[in-house]
Structure formats: C-alpha cells, structure tokens
Amino acid sequence: MPHVARLTILALASLSLSACAALMHGELPETPPGADVLMRGHAAIAGPGLSGTAKLTEFRLGTLRAVRLTVRVKGDPAVLTPGQHGVHLHATGDCGAPGFTSAGGHFDPGPAGNPDPDANHPYHLGDLPNMEVDAQGNGVLDALTTRVTLTDGPLSLFDADGAAIIIHKNPDQGITGAPKSGVSGGPRLACGIILK
C-alpha cells in the first residue's frame, strides 16, 4: 500500500465514532478529535465565471502530520461544467498572467522534483483528488494530504515564492503524459494564492 494512502487511512482510523458518523453525512470536522492545529492557510479562488474559497489546516495527531484542504467553488455551469475537475497545488503564488500560467507547474520541490503538470503525474506533491461539480455549478473538494506542509520545511507551501491552487476545466486522469498533453486537467479555469 502506498505510503500516503497508509497515512490517510491511519488518520481516518483515528477518528471517533461520532466523527465517522459525521463523515458519512458529509460533515468532516476541521481536524480529527485530539489533533493539534499547527498552522492554517486560505485562498480566494477566482476565474471568469466562477469564484470560491480554499481552507487549509495543518495538524498533528500522534506521529501523523497532515494538511486538510477544503475547496468550495460556484460558477456558471457553462464554465464550471457538471462532472469532475482537476484541482492542484501549483508551484508559485501568482495568479496574474493570462490563463493563470504565472502559477507555474505543480508544486513538486526537491532535487528530483518535476513540476511539469502532465509529466511525472500523479506523483507531484501538489496532486489532489478531482472535485465533483453538480448541475448548478457547485463544487466541493475535501481532501487530506501528507505530501505538503504549511509550517516551515522543505515541503512547505509557504516557501520563498509561495503557492497557488488551480481549478482545471477537465478531470485529472491520474496518468503521466507528454508535456502539454492535458492529462492532468488541461486549461486552468480559476486560481487562488494561498495565504497565511
């Protein structure tokens, strides 16, 4: 079983029965009972025809350190179409350039990092599950990751150039492809700079 999946299962296994019941009804607590909050972050997500928010909370529960990320977006269903959309943490905290290209590639620091959105995919540290959008253009993603941190360190989203969250037009296929092939979600619909 992959390391990240094991850690996620351990985190979920540590939830109390009441938290598990809340999870089954779509109401996951911000952190598991007994966890220590280490740092929080947020982002205002915007793009033509859609807007939203992201909340990030890094917590520690025993030896587990993880970041819970909750993304909520609403958009014109002609733009934010019903179905799945790729969501990623991107390498640079900048949403200024057309098409949000100034956010760079996927967050993937380190000597063997490869931020190309489609190559080395889905192994980037910034890779997240797809977000499901309903017929009214409402989308929610609630994810838990052990791949990044908010606190200082080599995996921190708050490094020298920051980080951003991107909502893509298409679903992330979860495969490696040629550069610019679009397998990781294709065009960028919206962007939000992650702030403390």
Calculate the CA 9 to chain-centre distance.
Answer: 18
pLDDT along the chain (196 residues), means of 10: 38 42 54 93 97 98 95 97 97 96 94 85 91 97 96 97 97 91 94 98
Tell which residue, 145, 195, 137, 136, has the closest CA to residue 165.
195
Distance CA 173, CA 67 (A): 23
Domains of the chain: 35-193 (2.60.40.200)
Structure-derived torsion over alpha carbons of residues 162, 120, 146, 101, reported in degrees to the nearest 10: 30
Phi, psi dihedrals of residue 17, rounded to the nearest 5°? -60, -40
CA distances from 124 to 8, 34, 82, 115 (A): 17, 30, 26, 7
Residue 27 pLDDT:
58
Give the tokens for residue 7: 């850690």
Beta-carbon count within 10 A of 132 CB: 14
Q: Which residue has the tokens 């100034």?
A: 102
pTM given for the model? 0.85
Distance CA 158, CA 9 (A): 26
- Residue ranges of the alpha helices (H) in the chain? 3-13, 17-24
Residue 25 pLDDT:
46
Calculate the CA 184 to chain-centre distance.
Answer: 13
Residue 116 pLDDT:
87
